[in-house]
Amino acid sequence: MMTSSKTKSLRLQTRLILYSTALILILMAMITILVEKRQSEIIQEEARKRGVAIAQNLASVSTNALLTYNYVVLQQNGEKVAFDEDLAYVIIHDKESKVAVYSQHDEKQGMILTDEVSQKALLTKESLIQFTFSGEPKTRILDIAIPVYIKESDEKWGTVRIGLSLERMYRQIAKTRFNLLLLGFFALFLGILGSIFFARRITRPISGLVETTISAAQGNLEQAIAIQTGDEIEELGKNFNHMIQQILLHRTELENRLREITSLKAYTDNVLASMTNGLVTIDLAGKGVTLNEMAERILKKRKEEIVGAPLGEALGPRHPLWTMMAETLAKGEGLFHSELELGKEDERLWLMASTSILTDGEGRKIG
């Protein structure tokens, strides 16, 4: 519940910025991951191609020396290639699988290497690439083995192996990843600035419209909002101004009518107060509506006792005036010049009374 209330209290501008930033962040993360993956694949493929090319070239120049068992030439060829800083080792096996050349490990010359990587390399009849570790500390290596054949025979005359270090490749991948992250953060920063700019461009006129609406709700209709965005928000502002003008026009008309009604009521009250005859009106429910000053004197009742109260209760259910008015309501037609006797024997009062049905402007009965 707390989280929901906080979310609802976020301003529109803040929500637009958050949504835009989240969208940009997701897009940049996806792009960075895809580009990094593609770049890593390219770098790894280039490393493999380079290693295979070096091994094939060494195998090509070492074929004659393997055929003649010329270990001196094989040693020279291996040393030339071993100068490459990315090569961890260079190994040449002769026809009998013995080590003819092992860079920086002359003591292994004439030995048969029994490790798993070497055994797979010696058994292969086509180029073989294996992933392994070498040296201390352990260095990631691509062991590339190329078998040596001659055109006139299917017999293998030796195997050339190189250990291509992957450290520089991984450094390039890490550098690429770092550059992509920098680019992603820069794009995210620009995206946030852009989202802030456009969010303010959208919310600023809306905020002005909200303030004007609040002011109008408080009764200040003498105002207009100026929005020039060239879009739906500007159209909304124009419609709001038109609505305010219509409300102001209607309010002016209502005020004029209220003044007229107030003036008419004051005139009617003066007429009622100056009448020498008593006047009593009731609604269809029999409740008092109007009682002039002369009627108060005749009935000896104050206006507050009659208006809003059932006349039958205020005067009594057998009161002649109430009986006459109830009969008029029941028959739906007025009574004219009826004599009424009010009061007790020592205070008798004879009246000439008339009743009529009250109707509204559309002819409907109202009392």
Tally the C-alpha atoms within 13 A of residue 188's C-alpha that lie toward its C-beta: 19
Amino acid at 314: A
Percent of the chain past pLDDT 70, that is, above it, reads 88
Angle at 209 between CA 204 and CA 214, to 5 degrees: 125
Give residue-wise pLDDT tens across range 223-249: 767 676 666 677 777 777 778 777 778
Sort strands 87-93 and 153-165 into parallel, antiparallel or unpaired. Answer: antiparallel
Domain map of the chain by residue range?
A: 8-173, 221-274, 276-353
Q: Looking at the whole model, is its pTM more than 0.85?
A: no
CA pair distance 94, 213, nearest whole angstrom: 93
> Domain 276-353, what fold?
Beta-Lactamase (3.30.450)
Q: Which residue has the higher pLDDT, 339 or 133?
A: 133
What pLDDT is stored for residue 4 in this prediction? 42
Give yes or no on whether 8-173 and 276-353 have one common fold.
Answer: yes
Distance of CA 297 to the CA centre of its chain: 74
Report, at the CATH architecture level, how domain 8-173 is classified.
2-Layer Sandwich (3.30)
Give residue-wise pLDDT tens across range 50-61: 888 988 898 888
Average pLDDT taken over every residue of the chain:
80
Residue 318 has pLDDT above 50, yes or no: yes
Residue 1 has pLDDT above 60, yes or no: no
Q: Are 279 and 271 in contact (CB under 8 A)?
A: no
Banded model confidence at residue 339, pLDDT cuts 50, 70, 90: confident
Cis peptide before 137 (omega within 30 of 0): yes
Residue 287 DSSP symbol: B
Give residue-wise pLDDT tens across range 256-308: 888 888 887 777 777 666 666 778 888 888 888 888 888 788 878 888 888 88
Give residue-wise pLDDT tens across range 123-155: 888 888 888 887 667 778 888 999 998 887 788
